[in-house]
Amino acid sequence: MKIAVVRFPGSNCDADALAAAAASGADAYYVWHRSTDLAGADFVVLPGGFSYGDYLRPGAIARFSPVMRAVASHAAAGRPVLGICNGFQILCEAQLLPGALVRNGGLSFVCRPVRVRVETDATPFTARYRVGQQLTMPVAHGDGRYVADDATLDRLEREEQVVFRYVGGNPNGAMRDIAGITNEGRNVVGLMPHPERASEALLGSSDGAAMFALAAAAAVA
């Protein structure tokens, strides 16, 4: 399993994502955002951070980085893409996922562990979890409030594209408590919480580790 962690100027969870990916036993490596290919990656991670300083809108400029054409092709081929926090914002800006992430309802930056419920196990990243299982992972964001129009939200619910939902408190005012979603092909997942910061017991939770340990079959699905 080859896992590419894309680095944008301003990414700051890239090292953590790489460590979590490597701990799953994968061949994990960085790809710079100016690169036009992913070096044969099976699975691509867009890590958290503040690409381009969140100028204009989070992810708005990063989505036009050269590497994003390769990420879009990878996604179109049905291969797995995981966007964490800023990575989720970039995937929405790139229209690889529907909706958008806007300023937190309470305006303040939230940085604390949250609980989310796994709403579907039918994605490569949640295949090792049970539907209904609750995970504890940290969030750290100022712009994490998921929004979309009602028709999109209804479609996400109906097609079981909501992957994670906040339980026991919604940290940012996200519509319908949405913490993570997938695309129609179910191979692209974005989430605001940080699984890489919950990837071993020493960090306070290892609930996120399985998100990096994809079944080999998922990579070629």
Partner 1 sequence: MRFRARVRVMPRPSILDPQGQAVAHALGELGFAGVAGVRVGRTVELELEAASADAARQGALRMCERLLANPVTEDFALDAVEAQP
Q: Which residues are catalytic?
A: 85, 194, 196
Question: Two tokens at 141?
Answer: 């964001």
Q: Which of 25, 105, 168, 204 binds partner 1 (CB under 8 A)?
A: 105
Q: Which of 47, 49, 83, 99 binds partner 1 (CB under 8 A)?
A: 99
Which is nearer to partner 1, 129 or 146 (by Cβ)? 146
Q: Which of 15, 72, 100, 167 binds partner 1 (CB under 8 A)?
A: 100
3: enclosing H helix or E strand: strand 2-7
Using alpha carbons, list the distances in angstroms from residue 39 to 3, 4, 67, 110, 111. 10, 8, 11, 35, 34
Q: Per CB under 8 A, does 104 bind partner 1? A: yes
* Whole-angstrom distance, CA of residue 92 vs CA of residue 94: 5
Cβ distance 94 to 44 under 8 Å?
no
Q: What DSSP string describes 19-72? A: HHHHHTT-EEEEEETT-S--TT-SEEEE--B-GGGG-SSTTTTGGGSTHHHHHH
Q: Binding string, 180-219, against partner 1, x = CB under 8 A?
A: ----------------------------------------
Q: Per CB under 8 A, does 142 bind partner 1? A: no
**Quick one: which segment of 131-139, 143-151, 192-200, 213-221 binds partner 1 (CB under 8 A)?**
143-151
Which of helix, strand or coil describes residue 163?
strand
Q: Which of 41, 45, 90, 92 binds partner 1 (CB under 8 A)?
A: 92
Q: Per CB under 8 A, does 56 bind partner 1? A: yes
- The contact set with partner 1 (CB under 8 A) reads 56-57, 60-61, 64, 92-93, 99-100, 102-107, 145, 147-149, 173
